[in-house]
Structure 1
């Protein structure tokens, strides 16, 4: 797959996640003003998954959006090292005529995710790894990593007492 195609998909997804982070920061600030705690990693992951699935909207990909299919928690025929069950991908977006867009969302480094994304890449998909939270970010050939750690930290800090 051409690297520029993968980069183009990543740029579109980055735009979606930038919009997500602005809305999420405002919501978290309002919630904290009402006495609520900041969101957990699981809550952030669920919210990111919803944002990623919006990639198939007509505003993003145009008229082919009506043909797009989104799969969440798609099971893979691969068992990552040290795991006892098949791996899962967070979001897979199928579009006609182009490779599948495969997205894995992690709050920390995860060797099993790297294996799943490499499997998807080798199967001809566009693999994107969305990373937030702590830890380093590993570079994998043919996999674009979207580092949104700063944006998510800004969301977690929104509305925090000074």
Structure 2
């Protein structure tokens, strides 16, 4: 990372005062890449590669608009991620979900996220993207793939739960 920063300074891409900001940004990017690699590796190992990509897309997107709890340490974040994957695996092993109930759950989750969005200026863009997520989910529903629909609902549910935990944490 220091080599990248040195090159950016050498070619005057950034100035000396910006080095700390870029160091932080590169650390965050590196952690995100490691985090996604772990998620995708586990998904591949469990034979849920496409489902994991769908989960990460919906989860990452919804977390962008709906603030929530963040672990203070990267190791805690990764442990929570493993817990999320484990719980999702348990839920998915049940594999006897009524699709109509899942569609109603999806619509309720999308509505909750829309209502909880703390930045009113984002609501238009959020609604646009939530409609995309809903349409994508309905396409999976039409294709009779409950697993895809489950992964979308689970990503939205975790986003909502982390948002609620964050609110409770800051009220105490």
Q: Structure 2-normalised TM-score?
A: 0.29
Structure ranking higher in helix proportion: 2
> Highest relative contact order (Cα 8 Å, sep 6+), 1 or 2?
2
- Choose 1 or 2 for highest CA Rg: 2
Q: Structure 1-normalised TM-score?
A: 0.31
